[in-house]
Structure 1
Amino acid sequence: MLCGSMTIGLYFSFAGNKQRTKEEYLLGGRRMTTLPVCLSLFATFQSAISLLGTPNEVYTYGTMCVYDIVATALANLLAIVTVLPLIYPLRITSVNEYLALRYDSACVQVVGALLGIISSLSYMTIALLSPALALEPTAGVPLWLSIIIVGGVGTIYTTLGGIKSVIWTDVFQTVFIFAGAFTVLIKGTMDVGGIEKMWRTADSAGRITLDEINFDPRVRHTVWGVTFGAMVYWYSSFYTQSSIQRILSTRNEKVVKNVYLFSIILYTVYISVLVTTGLLLTAYFHVTKCDPLAAGFITNNNQLVPYFVVLTLRFLPGLSGLYISTIFSASLSTLSSGINALAANTVEDFISKFIRDKPESVMTSITKCFVCFYGLASIGLAYIAKELQGPVTQMTFVAVGAVSGPLLGIFLLGASFPQANYVGALVGCAVGIVVSFGQAIGAFKYGNPPATLPSGPTDQCSIENVTALFTNYSSVMSAQHEHSIRLTTMMPSVDFVPQLQARDFSIFDVSYIWNPLLGVLSTMVVGLLTSLVANCFMSNRLRTEAKFLFPFCRRFWHSSMNTRGADMELN
């Protein structure tokens, strides 16, 4: 898999015009077709975080996360009627160029770029680190080696081949992702005695929950929370550079529309497989009567999936390596897409005015240098953050959502209200960031922890079985780890359900799923009010062109402003 990815990068580095122009390097000459762009967009945002985190989510909290399928479908449909007609006709390279055009402000563009960089680096760090943390104790792959292999290979082929190599390696890696996921699902289902038995066992263990319709925002996952809260999160991803760069690399708007529609099908299949894998984990550990987390064989619930893979695929030597390739593929796709997007942001949003008169070859070389820089930075950040603990899906949602919420708010403010100006955008964004990060940090420090489902049985667990299982992975069973296992297995098994404290409503108890929406609403409300006040004191008010508004807003404000005599320029 690694060799294949590197070969694709080398091919696009030396094929055709050798990525000599910036547009060819960053946008593939705007000639990409539906299938590769769709698979690339999928691989970019469905990283190792979801491969490891979604089954763990089901095992720990139940199947309410399945409504993420609905959230993603709604986000894609919304993108067709908003993102596509707003961004694509502008023929820009960086998504933040829209902010500069709409608000007539380089400051807003820079703020948007900085927030995008923070969000992307946070996402890449978790995507690069989470599989390394999971594979070290379960498959014997040292953490530093995982980070360097994925980070190094991804940086090299992205630097050499540009967006074309990123997109086509994403296609190649998507094949590995689905191959590994389906292999584990099929073999594991056979081991537990079939789909029916798997379903009955998971249901009796309390993992199948689909009817939580509580309107209390403090409930971790509800139908409304996952559907609408996650919809805002996924919708915000369509305003990131990684997403926009793929959309702008296509031939026409029809291709983009097909990309969004096909992505719904692809994501539905993918999440269905991962949710079923979570049920499979439950059934397997209950049938074998050995929950590795409760028994102490693993120390982090993010290690459940790799541990299970080694168990169920051990019948054929080397087959578990397919799933390791799957995890590495998912990390590679996220890393390569992220560093390519960050390089585009840096060149277009920060230094374009300084190199505008330079030859195309020089501009392309500078862009490649930034790709390499961000790749090395991601490797360093992942290693620094190696003490990461907790559900990776939730951590990613909070870390990325706290930034992407206010950033989405700036875009929606400008695309919805012609009255919005750069003052409102900056003030609203600042307030949105304070609200988002304040709620996220406060929830982490002072919020009630969510109740987890009871752990599985440990009746048939024994240190001898685990030692025999990992005979070929000697690095896993270090003396220190074996000592901790012996201490743990001597202790009686207990359920790890925290007792929630009864107390008055607190914003810190609100589910993490609503955090991006809080950022969006606070940014837009404060931004609009500030803009209205600022317009009263501005002698040269910004004339908003219709092409910078959503299509449905153009029609609304055209009618409204014609009757009120406001100054809106319609092209």
Structure 2
Amino acid sequence: MTNTEYLLGGRRLRALPVTLSLFASFMSAISLLGIPTEIYSYGTMYVYCQIGQVLSYFLAMVTLVPLLYPLRVTSVYEYFQLRFQSRTVQLLGAACGVMSTLSYMTVALLSPALALETAVGVPLWLSIVLVGATGTVYTTLGGMKSVVWTDVFQSFVIFAGIFTVIGKATVDAGGLETVWRINKDTGRIIFDDFSLDPRVRHTFWNMSVAITFYWLAIHFSQTSVQRLVSTRSMQDANKVYLFTGPLVVVFVSTLCVTGLVMVAYFQQSGCDPLAAGYVKNKNQIVPYFVIHALSFLPGLSGLYVATIFSGALSTLSSGINALAANTAQDFLPWFLQHRSDAVVTAITKSLVCFFGIASTGLAYLAKDFQGPVIQVGFTAVSATNGPLLGLFLLGGLFPQANYVGAVIGFLTALVFSFWQALGTLRFGHPIPMMPMGPTDQCSVGNVSTTALTPGYNYTTVGNINSSFDFTTQISFENVQGVDLNPSGFSNRAFSMYDVSYTWAPVTGSILTVVIGLITSFIFNQFFRKASRPEAKFLFPFCRPFWYSDRDVLQTEMK
């Protein structure tokens, strides 16, 4: 097996299996646990994220695919070397990409393990080791083909688990009409928040515009691009995005419905496990709900547990395969260039194994994590991927940009992104949760002293709008003494630390482009003017604006 066959499936994979693989890689355990919990905690404004997701797929078809597919890269960060003629830019991008992928895999591995530890009784270390070892073994042995075809199977498991839970729990809750009424009565049906205040956690604008930037950054990641360039043709690569968009819409919609059904189920049963103290962490509420909703048939609840583990496995296998490609192509080309295919493939397999072990270890070291998984997973990616997206936009939109501007713009945006994330953690304003359900039908001996009391408002202590929220203790204040403004910012001065986490990839991208262009202009004017890049290194829709018709035609004919 050659290294190209191992990492890219020989560039002969068909669109449909790659579509399901890409879907399974990013619609992970984070989504399975986080989206229903998001609806339970903050209401339905999250559904607007699908606008941003669909827009990002369209933008990727007109930017990423026609730019990177013809270059036949293995690592997405090879583009930086080709475009800016700079190994420094390539290494910076690759290092940041590796950090982003490792962070995301850590959250994706840890979140289901934490949830299942309390809800199901599976020891934390056992969940992490089982998923980590399984994903590492089959990815190491089979490479890209094993990752893709395993993801195909896992996609069917994921949908089977979701639809089973929705069907049974909806019946138990009294039907869809009852589910809707209960959620409306508890204030979770929210579709009209069009606030322009950037501090509001979820609005129509940040769930559409900001999420577009977030997902476009995901498309420019190694995990995504590695799948696209493994397809047989550019037409197949476009089909991957064309098919994945509707699939993601169905997936996110069903998980939002799961959250609504979960709220109604707890209301009808008279026992909210978080309010009663049966679970101490919001991330555990979905497995707890599933175990009880499907308890009528022994073993059926295991289907959803398998769904969660499938999501974690797909993310891990895709991630470690991408990290191995980055390491081989970006950091070790000088070491591998004169080696035989057999030796290079063996080294790449060793790298896959190494990153699998590293990801497993990082997930265990982060075992005290308690934050909302959707927000934490988003932040772990966007703090790094925002500046990375800006670097691709800088190179693909503006031929004037040079390597000096790229380095300074990228580093400035990266420092700003981390400063804002850490500052938000430390100084950000807490966002109230929605009221939890009743506890009157809970077992009297097991109800926590934090059970709900009529006439009280229920919020969480800690910074829910922050990047990493490590406190989920419940506090109760009399309704008359609580600010009921849904945004929570009515009397608070503006602070960058209060800005919604969703805007992080936008600010990171824009800073990279603006500072990169200004720096490039200064360098070109007062120092040495950089050579103009070939037209093929710019997005196709930009080429006619910057280049002559002959240059564009020559690029398209190559």
With the length of structure 1 as denominator, give the TM-score of the two structures.
0.90
Give the 3-state SS of the residue equivalent to 1:93 in structure 2.
Answer: coil
- Report 1:380-529 matches (<5 A): 380-463=361-444, 486-489=448-451, 494-497=456-459, 500=488, 502-529=491-518
Look up the match of 1:315: 296
Amino acid at match of 1:46: M
**1:496 match: secondary structure:** strand
User: CA shift at 1:493, angstroms?
Assistant: 8.9
1:244-323 alignment, distance < 5 Å: 244-323=225-304
Residue number in structure 2 paired with 1:341: 322
The amino acid of 1:95's aligned partner reads: V
The structural deviation recorded for 1:540 is 5.6
- Deviation track 1:228-281 (CA, whole Å, cap 9, x = no partner) reads 111100010111110000000000011111110111110011011000000011
Q: Which residue of 2 aligns with 1:21?
A: 2
Which of 61, 81, 84 aligns to 1:100? It is 81
Amino acid in the other structure paired with 2:503: W
Pick closer, same or farther for the CA change 1:547–1:244 going to 2, 3 Å: same
Name the structure 2 match of 1:176.
Answer: 157
Q: Tell me how far 1:440 sits from its aligned partner.
A: 1.3
Q: Does the residue aligned with 2:492 lie in a helix, a strand or coil?
A: coil
Q: What TM-score, normalized by structure 2, do the two folds share?
A: 0.92
- The CA deviation string for residues 209-240 of structure 1, in whole angstroms up to 9 with x for no partner, is 11100111111100011101111000101111
- Mapped contact 2:60–2:216 kept (Cα < 8 A): yes
**Are the equivalent residues in 2 in contact too, given 1:458–1:493 (CA < 8 A)?**
no
Match of 2:463 in 1: none
Amino acid of the structure 1 residue aligned with 2:536: K
Letter in 1 for 2:528: S
For the residues of structure 2 that align with 1:432 and 1:229, how far apart are their CA atoms?
Answer: 16
Give the conservation status (yes or no) of the 8 Å contact 2:544–2:552: no
Q: Does 1:154 align with 2:141?
A: no
**C-alpha displacement of 1:159:** 0.2
Q: 1:545 touches 1:570 (CA, 8 Å); kept in 2? A: no
Quote the Cα distance in structure 2 between the aligned partners of 1:541 and 1:570. 22
In the alignment, the residues of structure 2 paired with residue 495 and residue 122 of structure 1 have an alpha-carbon distance, to the nearest angstrom, of: 35
Classify 1:48/1:79 alpha carbon distance in 2 versus 1 (closer, same or farther; 3 Å).
same
Aligned residue in 1 for 2:521: 532
Query: Cα distance 1:46–1:493, how it changes in 2: closer, same or farther (>3 A)?
Result: farther
Residue 543 of structure 1: CA displacement? Answer: 2.2
| Structure 2 CA distance for aligned equivalents of residues 254 and 539 of structure 1 | 41
Which of 80, 99, 111 is the equivalent residue of 2:92? 111
Q: Give 3-state SS (helix, strand or coil) of 1:128's partner.
A: helix
Partners of 1:122 and 1:400 within 8 A in 2: yes
- The one-letter amino acid paired with 1:288 is S
Cα distance in 1, alignment partners of residues 358 and 374 from structure 2: 22
The worse-fitting range, judged by mean Cα deviation, of 529-538 and 204-213 is 529-538
Question: Is the deviation greater in 496-505 or in 322-331?
Answer: 496-505
- 2:41, 2:260 → 1: CA distance? 10
Aligned twin of 1:75: 56
* CA shift for structure 1 position 488: 4.0
Q: Secondary structure at the match of 2:195?
A: coil
Tell me the residue number matched to 1:14.
Answer: none
1:569 is displaced (CA, Å) by 12
The answer to whether the 8 Å contact 1:205/1:282 transfers is no
Instruction: Output the CA distance in 1 between the equivalents of 2:540 and 2:333.
Output: 30
Asked if residue 37 in structure 1 is aligned to residue 26 in structure 2, the reply is no
Count residues in correspondence.
Answer: 528
Residues 488, 226 of structure 1: CA spacing in aligned structure 2 closer, same or farther, 3 A cutoff?
Answer: same
Aligned residue in 2 for 1:58: 39
Question: 1: distance between equivalents of 2:119 and 2:382?
Answer: 30
Identity of aligned residues (%): 56
C-alpha displacement of 1:194: 0.9
| Superposition CA RMSD, Å | 1.8
Separation (CA, whole Å) in 1 of partners of 2:135 and 2:444: 38
- What is the Cα deviation at residue 23 of structure 1? 0.3
Contact 1:544-1:569 at 8 Å conserved across structures: no
Distance in 2 of aligned mates of 1:353 and 1:463: 67
Is the contact made by 2:390 and 2:509 (CA closer than 8 Å) also made in structure 1?
yes
> Secondary structure at the residue paired with 1:497?
strand
Deviations 1:368-420 (A, max 9, x none): 00000000000000000000012100011111101000011111100000000
Distance 1:489 1:505, change over 3 A: closer
Structure 1: how far apart are the matches of 2:538 and 2:237? 19
Q: CA deviation at 1:539?
A: 3.4
Aligned with 1:550 (options 498, 518, 539): 539
Q: String of CA shifts for 1:497-553, please: whole Å, max 9, x gaps.
A: 365462211111111110110000111100110011111244362221000000111
Displacement of 1:570: 6.8
Distance 1:383 1:491 in 2: 37
Aligned 8 A contact 1:410 1:523 in 2: yes
* Secondary structure at the counterpart of residue 149 of structure 2: helix
**Counterpart residue type for residue 218 of structure 2:** S
Is the Cα contact below 8 Å between 1:543 and 1:569 reproduced in 2? Answer: no
SS at match of 1:255: helix
Q: Does 1:224 align with 2:205?
A: yes
Alignment pair present for 1:362 and 2:351 = no
Q: Is the 8 A contact 1:295 1:493 kept in 2?
A: no
Structure 1 residue 556: Cα displacement? 1.0
Deviation at 1:489, TM superposition (A): 4.9
User: Deviation above 6 Å: which 4+ runs of structure 1?
Assistant: 490-493, 567-570
Deviations 1:267-300 (A, max 9, x none): 0110110000000111011111211111111001
